[in-house]
Structures are given as structure tokens and as C-alpha cells.
Amino acid sequence: MMALTANRPHLIDRVPRPRGRLTADAPLGPQTWFQAGGPAEVLFRPVDRDDLAAFLRALDRDIPVTVLGVGSNLLVRDGGVKGIVIRLLREFTRISVEGSEVVAGAGALDLNVALTARDHALTGLEFLSGIPGTIGGAVAMNAGAYGGEFASVLRSAEAVDRSGDIHRTTAAELGMSYRHSSAPADWIFTSARLGATPGDQLAIARRIAEIDSARLDSQPRSRTGGSTFVNPPGRKAWELIDQAGCRGLRIGQAQVSEKHCNFLINLGAAGAADLEALGEEVRRRVLDHSGVQLEWEIRRIGVPLSVATGAQA
């Protein structure tokens, strides 16, 4: 934990007072799919975009800021995250339909956006039902699955930068490529406008059901962080991992899934250190076996426990 001393005030005493909620030493592990990791030094839940912008504008520039989505493709290190961690809830989860476009807050679940489009007989967004995250994260990393990707449906997005300035941008301006966008690192996406086309509601519903069935058949539904490594060009990460003999590999309570070996699983009591060490061991074995260097798709944030406590590694 990030221990406090009697003569050292907590960060929460240094930050602006927003309309939203501030929480000191907020546990983050329970808010992630891995169910592992340390606390946020300060967790901030803004009421709306203007609350977020005003807070960032007044915040000292030396205080780091991290955005947390639904925690699906994320590993929080055991020492926690220093500075401000922002979660976009409330107003940021709203979804509306304007003609053939769906407007979604950055905190809206990708699945809920797909279901909203289905309910309005709009097609083209079904693939979102297979992405276990939020719209904000999907914009930032050009998320994709089941034959679709965000770059193909994003019409425009709105973001707030570290200075509190508001930006509006198009997909073309974001320079999207495979699992990547060129958005500035300090941008926090707050909403997105997605294009769709009128379609047959039953066909849309069937496609979403097919995607759900495919996920059930091929992916673990335990404490996992989703797809661990990016597919290298022309290759499948899971095949490289399997060929390197890593299926079922364990470090402590962290395991490579037997069902889909591009997934890491927390068997119950794994710390983030074990999960990250297992991922690095998989990378080493794949490199030795095939010469391919796997790149992490899971976002890893925070500091190791030894750094947070000041202990010797």
C-alpha cells in the first residue's frame, strides 16, 4: 500500500475540489477483470465533461493522471497507481441514436452500444458485442474483433487533454492502424459518434448471438484480462504461444489458459506480479522458439509493490 507518514499530507489534500467524487487510496484490483492489483492514490469520478475539464485545468501539472475503463484489458501492478486515476461513469455511460449514428459516452460498454444499435435496427456495430471494454478505450486503441474494428465505424470523437482543453476529431485525424491510434497520450476521450446503416433487426440479433456463442466456445470466462498479446503481422499469437509449449503454464496462481492460450488467468490468489511475470515468460519462450517478439495488448499500469513500499527488490 502507499503508506502515509504523519508529516506528509496525502495527495487528496493537494488537488482541486470538483463536483464529482474523490476517494483516497481506492482499491483498484476489485475493479479489474483480473481481480488483482493495488490502490489508486486518488480516484476521481467526474460528473460530466465540464467537471473533468475544470479539474484537469486546475490540477498541478506534476501530478500524473491515469484513466481506468471497465478494467477488462488491464493489469494494475501490486503497488498501485500514483497520482489521479479517473473513472468515467454516470453521464459518460449514456448512449443515444441520431438517425443512422450512435452517440456514446466514453464510459459506455461496447456491448451496450451494440445492443442499442440492434434495438434501433442499425447494422455495422455488431462486432462491438465481442469487445469487453468501453468506448473510450476502444477509440484510443482502435479496438476490433470478429471482423470489425473501430476505425471503420468511428465518425468523430471528443476528448479532454491534460490542460483541460476540449478537442473534437475525426477517425482520419486519429491515424488509426491495427490496435493503435495516433491520439496524443494525454487525451481522455469523453464520447464518440459511430456510423451504422439501417438493417434487418433479426439478422443483427443473430449476429450478436453468434459472436457471444463464439466467445463462450473459445475464451475462458474466469478472472482474465482478455487477449494478452497483439497478433503479429500474418500470425496468431495463440498459435505461437501453443507451439512454444506454454498452454497451461503457471507461475504461482497465474496460469496460461488451457482453453485459449492468449489469455492469462488468475486462479484465485495471483498477484499482478505473478501475472506479469507469466506474460514475460511466455514472451521469452515464444521468442526462443519462433524468433517472434510478442507485444503486450494488455495495458499494464502502476508500480510494483517493492517500489510503493520502498522495499528492496
Q: At what angle do helices 110-119 and 201-218 cross, to 10 degrees?
A: 150
- Gap between the Cα atoms of 51 and 221, Å rounded: 36
Closest CA to 223 of 260, 261, 262, 254: 254
What is the rounded distance in angstroms from the CA atom of residue 128 to the CA atom of residue 205?
13
R_g over Cα of the chain: 20
Beta-bridge partners for 45: 21
- The distance in angstroms from the start CA to the end CA of the chain is 16
Range 19-27 contact pairs with CB under 8 angstroms and sequence separation of 24 or more: 19/46, 19/47, 19/51, 20/44, 20/45, 20/46, 20/47, 20/51, 20/52, 20/55, 21/45, 25/1, 26/85
Give me the catalytic one of 181, 191, 227, 257. 227
Q: What is the Cα–Cα distance from 95 to 40, expressed in whole angstroms?
A: 28
Residue 25 backbone zone (phi > 0: left; psi -120 to 50: alpha; other: beta): left
Dihedral class, residue 264 (left if φ above 0, else alpha if ψ from -120 to 50, else beta): beta
**What is the grid cell recorded at 119?**
434495438
Give, as one character, the DSSP assignment of residue 253: T
* Candidate list 155, 179, 215, 250, residue with the active-site label: 179
Q: Are 49 and 166 in contact (CB under 8 A)?
A: yes
**44 near 81, Cβ under 8 Å?**
no
Q: What's the grid cell of residue 165?
A: 482543453
Q: Is 285 a catalytic residue?
A: no
Q: What residues act catalytically?
A: 179, 227, 297
